[in-house]
């Protein structure tokens, strides 16, 4: 087959342009990326060879070699791992398959400083080689294949792929260094970079220079070393490798479980959100090893989806090395490890929440919405999870814990109240909260989509029922208002509202389910509420948005504030000016819709009525 020229996927070209042109401050990380890939490739072959020993072609000692060549001004990073065939070279090095890439690229602005920070967070893996190399060649032979391939590119839009007769099994990445990058030919410099970034790599990283071979890393699996022998930076670099991430770990959990089952867990909570956090697949990303041999990075059973933000390694002593996919799904060992891991992670999060509440809020902002999925998926851990939750509150300026909410509950207050809605000021000033505010009752303000679902599954926190403020205003009667004078206002004779409510219902017809007097309003004349058991207005809107705007709108209950001046006046006009009352009913319903964040079904009618009313008033 003749050499073939191909174009990079458009996204790759864009990424490469930014990588090459940005003044990336620590270019040396390219070496970490190449060694990380080489180590992954060896892990994968070691695992594949468990069932297909012939892939090893008579055995090998897995290793990564670094060979600087001062004459040719090349640095070669070679491994004897799984290798790549022609299609894999094209796919892996010519496209970006990783999910979230599109979202990432959309954020790139062309403003070099900002982009570098973003790239640092996203990582460019293999492409970082082009920061120091004007041309990169990759010579690879896939384990089990007879022929090898050569991929080569100057990173400017195209690459060439060709057959390569002279290829050892595995992958060789040859960097033709740019002018001024000679430091990467210096053995001392290379040794320093490997010590800094790749010491944790479990296989030998061997420097081949001046006719000598020398292993320049510790070459033992980091998680098997005692905690006291591991520096924070080593944990960090291992996290970068295992997570393909570039931020700092927010929390590191490293422990050995002994007893009925034995395993080592080295888990990290990232300090920023991974790009695929809300992918529908909800895949988890912790690697499974068996006695240090890498098995898979997709062992779904090992952690529940609501902990999918975790990265790291779990190394089992008890599973067989040739553990199959089916076994992974049904193995009691996996189930036990999972129970142990969940327990440990939740306990460590709790400790952090207690000891460093401010820092904990950073975690909560990133991953709270994911953790809350556990509230309806993990019945056994529900109480622990509820203790880890933080919620915005109508009375506090920082997210609050339920325990603190309960401590602040008013005398006579029977339940924990929450209100769902779109994030922002509108939720905090919702008319639904007026009655609660008047009684000094705190309401949790929930704005994650998941908040529409979990309260239905969690009926109580420490025997305090959890109720929607939009549905339970009636309970407020039992609570003493902080200021008794506020209460005395009610003594003022309330007008008979029945004729007005009936007139409103007649005017609005099927647009409302019911019109009734409100106990929750103190300032606003009207508001919309959902009937008991009915989908909330917010959830209905979320679902509509999800379907691109299509979908029914349920007729809601219109609540009317008997104490409001406007309502009192209208009550006196039901007989005398029925058209005005009808007009006011339409305007007030539209107002209530707007306050809920709903769009108006008839904006033209709204405008006409408003203008007519203003005209009379001016």
Contacting positions for ligand ADP (CB under 6 A) = 33, 37-38, 41, 79, 81-82, 84, 92-93, 125-126, 171, 244
Residue closer to ligand ADP (CB basis): 297 or 451: 297
171 part of the interface to Mg ion, by CB under 5 A: no
Element (H or E) spanning 133, and its range? strand 133-141
Pairing of strands 464-468, 416-420: parallel
Residue 504's Cα: distance from chain center in Å? 46
Work out how close the CB of 290 gets to ligand ADP at its nearest, in angstroms, rounded to a whole number. 22
- Which strands form 526-529's sheet, in the order they lie side by side? 512-517, 556-560, 526-529
Work out how close the CB of 40 gets to Mg ion at its nearest, in angstroms, rounded to a whole number. 7
Contact window for Mg ion (CB under 5 A) among 69-77, 124-132, 347-355, 438-446: 124-132
Cα separation, 353 vs 390, whole angstroms: 10
Work out how close the CB of 94 gets to ligand ADP at its nearest, in angstroms, rounded to a whole number. 10
Q: Which two tokens stand for residue 406?
A: 């309960």
**DSSP 8-state class, residue 524:** S
Cα separation, 494 vs 89, whole angstroms: 80
Residue closer to ligand ADP (CB basis): 81 or 399: 81
Work out how close the CB of 299 gets to ligand ADP at its nearest, in angstroms, rounded to a whole number. 18
Find which of Mg ion, ligand ADP, none residue 169 binds, CB within 5 to 8 Å per kind: none
Residue closer to ligand ADP (CB basis): 140 or 267: 140
Contact at 8 Å (CB) between 46 and 291? no
Residue closer to ligand ADP (CB basis): 79 or 442: 79
Cα separation, 542 vs 530, whole angstroms: 15
Residue closer to Mg ion (CB basis): 37 or 524: 37
Residue closer to ligand ADP (CB basis): 41 or 528: 41
Work out how close the CB of 126 gets to Mg ion at its nearest, in angstroms, rounded to a whole number. 6
Work out how close the CB of 174 gets to ligand ADP at its nearest, in angstroms, rounded to a whole number. 12
Q: Which two tokens stand for residue 563?
A: 């104490």
Handedness of CA 196, 197, 201, 207 (dihedral sign): negative
Work out how close the CB of 241 gets to Mg ion at its nearest, in angstroms, rounded to a whole number. 8
> Among the residues of 95-186, which ranges form H helices?
101-107, 112-122
Question: Which of 68, 81, 83, 125 is the binder for Mg ion (CB under 5 A)?
Answer: 125
Find which of Mg ion, ligand ADP, none residue 598 binds, CB within 5 to 8 Å per kind: none
Find which of Mg ion, ligand ADP, none residue 81 binds, CB within 5 to 8 Å per kind: ligand ADP
Find which of Mg ion, ligand ADP, none residue 15 binds, CB within 5 to 8 Å per kind: none
Contact at 8 Å (CB) between 105 and 19? no
Residue closer to ligand ADP (CB basis): 202 or 342: 202
Closest residue to Mg ion, judged by C-beta, is: 125
Contact window for Mg ion (CB under 5 A) among 121-129, 190-198, 331-339, 409-417: 121-129
Q: Which two tokens stand for residue 217?
A: 């890393």
Cα separation, 454 vs 375, whole angstroms: 6
Work out how close the CB of 33 gets to Mg ion at its nearest, in angstroms, rounded to a whole number. 5
Closest residue to ligand ADP, judged by C-beta, is: 125
Among 182, 124, 181, 174, residue whose Cα is nearest residue 153: 174
123 part of the interface to Mg ion, by CB under 5 A: no
Residue closer to ligand ADP (CB basis): 263 or 294: 294
Residues 6+ apart with CB under 8 A from 228: none
Q: Which DSSP string do the residues of 256-273 spell out, in sequence order?
A: EE-SSS-EEEEEEEESS-
Residue closer to Mg ion (CB basis): 125 or 455: 125
304 part of the interface to Mg ion, by CB under 5 A: no
Cα separation, 321 vs 45, whole angstroms: 14
Task: Count Cβ neighbours within 10 Å for each residue of 540-552 and write b for 16 or more, e otherwise.
Answer: bbbebeeeeeeee
Beta bridge partner(s), residue 220: none
Residues 6+ apart with CB under 8 A from 407: none
Find which of ligand ADP, Mg ion, none residue 416 binds, CB within 5 to 8 Å per kind: none
37 part of the interface to Mg ion, by CB under 5 A: yes
Work out how close the CB of 125 gets to ligand ADP at its nearest, in angstroms, rounded to a whole number. 2
Residue closer to ligand ADP (CB basis): 193 or 342: 193
Find which of Mg ion, ligand ADP, none residue 79 binds, CB within 5 to 8 Å per kind: ligand ADP
Q: Which two tokens stand for residue 268?
A: 């990290």
Contact window for Mg ion (CB under 5 A) among 48-56, 117-125, 418-426, 436-444: 117-125
Residues that bind Mg ion (CB under 5 A): 37, 125
């Amino acid at each position: 087959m003749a050499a073939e020229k191909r174009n990079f996927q458009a996204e790759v070209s864009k990424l490469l342009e930014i990588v090459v042109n940005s003044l990336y401050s620590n270019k040396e990380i390219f070496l970490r990326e190449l060694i990380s890939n080489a180590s992954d490739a060896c892990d994968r072959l070691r695992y594949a060879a468990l069932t297909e020993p012939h892939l090893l072609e008579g055995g090998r000692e897995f290793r990564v070699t670094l060979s600087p060549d001062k004459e040719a001004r090349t640095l070669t990073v070679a491994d004897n791992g799984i290798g790549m065939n022609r299609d894999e070279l094209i796919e892996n090095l010519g496209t970006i398959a990783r999910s979230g890439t599109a979202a990432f690229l959309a954020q790139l602005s062309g403003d070099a400083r900002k982009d570098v920070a973003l790239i640092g967070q996203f990582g460019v893996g293999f492409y970082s080689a082009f920061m120091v190399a004007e041309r990169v060649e990759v010579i690879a032979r896939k384990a089990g294949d007879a022929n090898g391939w050569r991929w080569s590119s100057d990173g400017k839009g195209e690459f060439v792929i060709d057959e390569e007769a002279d290829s050892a099994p595995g992958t060789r990445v040859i960097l033709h260094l740019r002018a001024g990058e000679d430091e990467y030919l210096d053995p001392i410099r290379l040794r320093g970079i490997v010590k800094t970034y790749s010491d944790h790599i479990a296989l030998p990283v061997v420097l081949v220079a001046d006719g000598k071979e020398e292993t320049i890393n510790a070459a033992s699996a980091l998680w098997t070393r005692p905690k006291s022998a591991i520096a924070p930076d080593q944990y960090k670099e291992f996290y970068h490798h295992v997570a393909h991430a570039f931020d700092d770990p927010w929390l590191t959990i490293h422990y050995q479980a002994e007893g009925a089952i034995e395993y080592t867990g080295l888990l990290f909570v990232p300090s920023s959100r991974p790009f695929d956090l809300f992918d529908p697949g909800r895949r988890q990303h912790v690697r499974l090893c068996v006695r240090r041999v890498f098995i898979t990075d997709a062992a779904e059973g090992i952690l529940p989806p609501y902990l999918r933000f975790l990265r790291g390694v779990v190394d089992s002593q008890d599973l067989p090395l040739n553990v199959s996919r089916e076994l992974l799904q049904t193995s009691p060992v996996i189930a036990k490890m999972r129970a142990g891991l969940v327990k440990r992670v939740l306990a460590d999060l709790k400790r952090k929440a207690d000891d460093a509440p401010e820092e904990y809020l950073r975690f909560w902002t990133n991953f709270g919405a994911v953790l809350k999925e556990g509230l309806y998926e993990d019945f056994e851990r529900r109480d622990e999870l509820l203790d880890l939750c933080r919620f915005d509150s109508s009375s506090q300026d920082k997210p609050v814990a339920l325990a603190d909410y309960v401590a602040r509950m008013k005398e006579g207050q029977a339940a924990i109240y929450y209100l769902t809605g779109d994030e922002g000021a509108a939720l905090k000033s919702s008319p639904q909260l007026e009655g609660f505010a008047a009684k000094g009752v705190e309401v949790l303000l929930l704005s994650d989509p998941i908040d529409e679902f979990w309260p239905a599954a969690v009926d109580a926190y420490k025997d305090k029922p959890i109720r929607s403020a939009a549905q339970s205003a009636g309970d407020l009667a039992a609570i003493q208002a902080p200021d008794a004078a506020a209460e005395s206002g009610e003594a003022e004779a309330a007008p008979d509202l029945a004729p007005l409510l009936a007139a409103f219902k007649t005017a609005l017809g099927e647009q409302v389910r019911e019109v009734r007097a409100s106990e929750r309003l103190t300032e606003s004349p009207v508001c919309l509420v959902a009937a008991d058991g009915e989908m909330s207005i917010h959830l209905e809107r979320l679902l509509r948005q999800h379907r691109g705007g299509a979908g029914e709108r349920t007729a809601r209950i219109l609540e009317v504030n008997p104490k409001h001046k406007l309502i009192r006046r209208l009550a006196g006009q039901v007989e005398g000016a029925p058209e005005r009352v009808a007009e006011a009913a339409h305007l007030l319903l539209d107002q209530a819709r707007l306050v809920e964040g709903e769009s108006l079904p008839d904006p033209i009618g709204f405008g006409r009525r408003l203008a007519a009313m203003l005209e009379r008033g001016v």
